[in-house]
Amino acid sequence: MAQTTHEADEDTRNRDIRIYVNGDIVHRNEAKVSVYDAGFMLGDGIWEGMRLYQGKWAFFDEHMDRFFNSCKAIDLDVGMDKAGIADALRRTAEANGMTDDVHCRLMLTRGIKDKPFQHPGLSTSGPTLVIIMEHSRPVDRLQTAGIRLASVPQVRGLPHAQDPKLNSHSKLNCIIACLQAEAAGADEALMLDPHGFVNTTNACNFFIVRRGEVWTSTGDYCMNGVTRQKVIDLCLDNGIPVHQKNFSLYEAYGADEAFLTGTFGAQTPVASIDGKKIGNGDRPVTRTIQGMYKDLIKKHVNGAA
Ligand SMILES: Cc1ncc(COP(=O)(O)O)c(C=O)c1O
């Protein structure tokens, strides 16, 4: 059965969550956007995935930097500043009585269009802001079983086509890759860059561990993941050799360990790539990094990082 890095324990409280839609906070069954919305019609929007740990949004500033930068890149007027977003998040969390183990998808689209055509100028009534928060804990099972990846024909594009750094509502590039991986009997896709080097998965950043060194792609064709950067910084601060470099499937197959990073799952071990088992199942470096990341979150929640 296919599994994903975003698999969470079933939580029945999510059936009755309240969702933020342009300032209103309503039951999920009433949370609706127009069929004329640019996000629905064209995938014209930007989103962020964030996690709430003991009442604090992890690495909020970094997420807001990426969010506002992406919106600026596509001339999408957020209509509020960072403090405004923080307030909308606070209201939504309060309405749901949520403080911990919460995942949030913050979505901003160009808003309702006057006519069902592409031109961005047709969205005249301002952006649509939606905040979905769910009670969510990543399943433990993946930590031992690991995720199965398949390399796929769909590649990450060049920045002058659609920059992979844009966390755009249009995820078709990633979705096609994920479908290809599923067709190959894997859980998620390992995507290459236009030159054939290993780049990222369809939903997370990708790392390998070889002979005690941590390697990840140059970052040129992948999402500038907040967790990716935290892992690189943790390695640098703790004397673990880390390299952002080009490498091929040859080196990925022969890695001692591999793991994915993302806000939801933090670090998720990789069991296999293209049916080839990664390492011997012992993951000392991944475990060390997971421990350091947990400590970092603790310090961050206590205001010390
Ligand atoms: C394609 C892709 N890669 C990686 C990530 C992980 O980024 P982060 O660590 O900021 O959650 C995301 C999350 O938005 C993503 O969509």
pLDDT at 33 over 80: yes
Rounded Cα distance, 106 and 168, in Å: 12
Asked if residue 5 has its Cβ within 6 Å of ligand 1, the reply is no
Copy the structure tokens of residue 128: 């649509």
Rounded Cα distance, 68 and 221, in Å: 20
d(CA 107, ligand 1 centre) in Å: 14
Q: In this structure, are residues 38 and 109 in contact, taking their beta carbons and an 8 Å threshold?
A: yes
Statement: the pTM of the whole predicted model exceeds 0.85: yes
Asked if residue 261 has its Cβ within 6 Å of ligand 1, the reply is yes
Copy the structure tokens of residue 289: 């990094």
Rounded Cα distance, 20 and 130, in Å: 5
Asked if residue 203 has its Cβ within 6 Å of ligand 1, the reply is yes
DSSP 112: B
d(CA 24, ligand 1 centre) in Å: 27
Asked if residue 223 has its Cβ within 6 Å of ligand 1, the reply is yes
pLDDT at 228 over 80: yes
Task: Identify the band that residue 173 occupies on the pLDDT scale cut at 50, 70 and 90.
Answer: very high
Domains annotated for the chain, with CATH where assigned, are 12-135 (3.30.470.10), 141-301 (3.20.10.10)
Nearest CA to ligand 1 atom 1: 203
d(CA 227, ligand 1 centre) in Å: 8
d(CA 29, ligand 1 centre) in Å: 27
**pLDDT tens digits, one per residue of 86-134:** 999 999 999 999 999 999 999 999 999 999 999 999 999 999 999 999 9
Task: Identify the band that residue 296 occupies on the pLDDT scale cut at 50, 70 and 90.
Answer: very high
